[in-house]
């Protein structure tokens, strides 16, 4: 995933479009961008994105909320509202498989 365009838009709010190596303002004029600043901002945005990979992995690993509620209901019905219940085991597995980085 490339964050070059995002970096340009964050550094240069007047830019409304960026095509290839050219950026333009709303009047269609070329906006000169500092490529070193763009590269630095691109790296920063990439690092922010990478740092949250575990979070995206967790989001796609959890069961749907309705399924989690059903697990909780059945656990409570049989008196397993603690760490022995299926809901806890399911959520704990997701957290164990996708640990939050330190």
Q: Can you give the residue ranges of every domain in the chain?
A: 1-51, 54-102
- What sign does the dihedral 30-33-35-41 (CA atoms) show? negative
Using one digit for the tens of pLDDT, what is the confidence trace for 52-94?
998 898 888 999 999 999 999 999 999 999 999 999 999 999 9
Element (H, E) at 56: helix 53-61
Query: What confidence tier does 45 reach under pLDDT thresholds 50, 70, 90?
Result: very high
Q: Which residues contact 40 (CB under 8 A, 6 or more apart)?
A: none
User: Structure pTM?
Assistant: 0.62
Structure tokens that stand for 53 in this block:
């990979």
């Amino acid at each position: 995933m490339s964050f070059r365009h995002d970096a340009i838009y964050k550094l240069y709010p007047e830019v409304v479009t960026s095509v290839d190596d050219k950026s333009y303002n709303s009047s269609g004029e070329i906006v000169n961008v500092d490529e070193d600043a763009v590269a630095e901002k691109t790296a920063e945005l990439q690092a922010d994105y990478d740092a949250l990979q575990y979070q995206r992995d967790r989001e796609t690993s959890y069961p749907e909320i309705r399924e989690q509620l059903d697990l909780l209901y059945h656990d409570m019905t049989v008196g397993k509202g603690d760490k022995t219940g299926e809901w806890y085991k399911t959520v704990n597995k997701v957290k164990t498989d996708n640990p939050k980085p330190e």
